[in-house]
Structure 1
Amino acid sequence: MKKVVLSLALVAMMFVSCKETQENAEAAGENMEAAAGEAVDATQEAMENTADAVEAAADSTAAAVEGAAVDAANAVEGAANDVKDAVK
């Protein structure tokens, strides 16, 4: 009888242990899923910020190049006028 009670106690302990292991595994899976979702969100936000920064840099570069081109054109026009005046 004692062996039967001990065997039943052992089976009950194993059942409880398996149940706890299953709950822990489910919790770990949920934590991994949440972490993956956060990683995806962070990556997407970083990509959007990078795209915005690249766009701003491109706009700034285009404005600087345009300004330099206008300045160069004005300098060439001024030099041409100086040459014209010198020839007269």
Structure 2
Amino acid sequence: MKKMVVLAMAAGLASLSACNSSPREQVADNIEANSEAVADNLEDAADNASTSAAEASLENKADAVRATGQNQADDMRTNDPDTNLSNGI
């Protein structure tokens, strides 16, 4: 059920972000929205964890997903995806 909600939110955000922005900006916004949704799900799972170690692990994964999504979105906004300038290829 949560996956359906996440997909619906992503589709809604994608349609809203299509207004007055470049295709690269739209992709970057979608990357951010998707990583935020995944991180939120991880945090929800952390709230329901049975041990504090499991909760901490899930919280750390949520933070890592957010950071990765933000880095990928920033990379999409600042680098040419056709030449992969960010990784030197």
Higher relative contact order (CA 8 A, sep 6+): 2
TM-score using structure 2 length: 0.33
| Structure number with higher helix proportion | 1
TM-score using structure 1 length: 0.33
